[in-house]
Amino acid sequence: MEKFSNWRDKGTGIAPFLPPPVPASSKVSVVLNVAWYSVKMVLLLPIMALVMVTGDKFWHRFIYRVLYGLREEIVVVGVKKREVVPWKHYPLRNNVYVCNSSSPWDVLLLGLIAEGPAMFLVPNAGTLYRMNADQYYSYALAGSLDAKLFGKEITSFNDCKGYVCFMFLEGTCSNGKSVLPFEITSKQLGEFLYGKDENDVPVKERINIFTVQLRLNSSIVTPLAIGRREFFLRSIIKGVKAKIKISHEPYSAKNLDSIRAKLMDDDKYKLVSKSLGIEAKRKFVSEFNKKHKL
């Protein structure tokens, strides 16, 4: 699509906001899949009730596998698969994990691996907004352009205590082919995490930042807004496939460029230009909608 070349990175050739093509499903396929989904929902009602009461993640994951064909591969960098212990190697309470963002499914998958209640933070113009899973899900479906419409402003990491803290620092969803520039500066993030001294400078750093890389099948990534019904149908018909890579290499707020590269397997040459951030996406969306008469 050459008409969108202004939003294609000149170095990598990646157009991070362009939605991947998803083949349309036939009416027969839609009807059959919805009918089968409904049958499975009825059969799963007792387990759903159990999950609502206990929050048991084993059964929660089981439900996703039955309803959406969830297939996930979880990798902990530096740890052999047979030696992975969730309570030790999965995301833990009172830690910060920076993640890439491409789909409403991001928060559902992160919730499954979080060793404790999860909190999701998204920056907008340097300010962080706190969301729960339902709020983030709606935010991603709506095009992920204005976090403050869906979340509540949060000014200190002290308000995250007791939670597994996941940060989507790109500030919006892309198509997953690269990692967008972060919508927060090192100084702003440092002040949030560590506080400030009397000279308005972040105090000594005490909190490590880790990364969680998410790679999903292209049919469920949402760089642009999508209807709830259409996204539901894609999820049940195309299924959900995810690779989740957890790294315990510690970073500080000063290392945002390194964190961004880590989310691309330390390959900085696959990162798009810093001009392709959320403001560029707003312009892309406007042009895309004109071309498609949305």
Q: Return phi, psi of residue 57, to 5°.
A: -80, -25
User: What are the structure tokens assigned to 73, written together?
Assistant: 């591969």
- Could you tell me if 148 and 125 are in contact, meaning their C-beta atoms sit under 8 angstroms apart? no
Burial status of residue 243 (CB atoms within 10 A of its CB: 0-12, 13-18, 19 or more): middle
Instruction: Please answer whether residues 17 and 175 qualify as being in contact, where contact means their C-beta atoms are separated by less than 8 angstroms.
Output: yes
pLDDT digits (tens, 9 = 90+) for 208-252: 899 999 999 999 999 999 999 999 999 999 999 999 999 999 999
- Reading the block at residue 278, the tokens are 């959320």
Q: What residue segments make up the domains of the chain, in order of their start?
A: 69-292
Distance of CA 239 to the CA centre of its chain: 17
Cα separation, 78 vs 68, in Å, equals: 30
pLDDT of residue 265: 95
- C-alpha span between 293 and 280 (Å, rounded): 20
CA triplet 66, 21, 216: central angle to 5 degrees?
A: 40
Going by their DSSP bridges, the two strands 127-131 and 241-251 should be labelled as: unpaired
Q: E-assigned strands of the chain?
A: 71-76, 96-99, 118-124, 127-131, 152-154, 164-167, 209-216, 241-251
Decide: 203 and 197 in contact? Cβ < 8 Å: yes
Per-residue pLDDT tens listing for the chain (294 residues) = 456 778 999 999 999 999 999 999 999 999 999 999 999 999 999 999 999 999 899 999 999 999 999 999 999 999 999 999 999 999 999 999 999 999 999 999 999 999 999 999 999 999 999 999 999 999 999 999 999 999 999 999 999 999 999 999 999 999 999 999 999 999 999 999 988 765 565 566 678 899 999 999 999 999 999 999 999 999 999 999 999 999 999 999 999 999 999 999 999 999 999 999 999 999 999 999 888 764
Structure confidence by residue, pLDDT tens digits, 59-87: 999 999 999 999 999 999 999 999 999 99
Cα distance between residue 124 and residue 278, in whole Å? 9
Residues in a beta bridge with 211: 98, 247
Partners of 152 in the β-ladder: 130
- What is the reported pLDDT for 6? 84
Name, in order, each residue with C-beta under 8 angstroms of 217's C-beta and a sequence gap of 6 or more.
238, 239, 240, 241, 242
Length of the chain measured in residues = 294
